[in-house]
Structure 1
Amino acid sequence: MPTKPKCSVCGKPVDPATRPFCSKRCRDVDLHRWLSGRYAIPGVESAEDSDETPPLAPRD
């Protein structure tokens, strides 16, 4: 028997109208966590992502 999905914020059973959350409140809590930077996807900044321009190489 498959288990019922649970809200990732509070653990209550998921409501189909607000899936994958149990309520609008939990959906908004999750959105706020993303917007405030609490959730982050780790990554490595490459030279292409940098805002700084690299120094020019001297010409011969």
Structure 2
Amino acid sequence: MDSPAQPRIVPCPTCGGDSIFAPSNSWRPFCSQRCRQIDLGAWANEDFRVEASPPVEDDSLPH
């Protein structure tokens, strides 16, 4: 007799607590709506950034 698969537990990206990564958790990968909103706010405030080199201006192009 096969037992049902155990839900996968992952760390919440915001608080680090346990979060069920399954369709039953509508906030996955977050543990709660609060953690999801905190993450969304951080993106809106541009707290998450990707480092990049400044663009190089090409003097050969017409201005």
TM-score bracket for the superposition, by shorter chain length: 0.5 to 0.7
Percentage identity across paired residues of the two chains: 33
Equivalent of residue 50 in structure 2, options 12, 35, 41: 41
Q: Does 1:4 align with 2:9?
A: yes
TM score, norm. by length of structure 2 = 0.62
SS of residue matched to 1:38: coil
Query: What CA distance in whole angstroms lies between the structure 2 residues aligned with 1:42 and 1:32?
Result: 20
Unaligned ranges ≥5, structure 2: 1-7
Q: Higher strand proportion, which one?
A: 2
Aligned residues: 51
Give the structure, 1 or 2, with the largest relative contact order (CA under 8 Å, sep 6 or more): 2
Superposition RMSD in Å? 2.8
Query: What CA distance in whole angstroms lies between the structure 2 residues aligned with 1:24 and 1:44?
Result: 35
Unaligned ranges ≥5, structure 1: 49-53
The higher radius of gyration belongs to: 1
Residue aligning to 1:24:
33
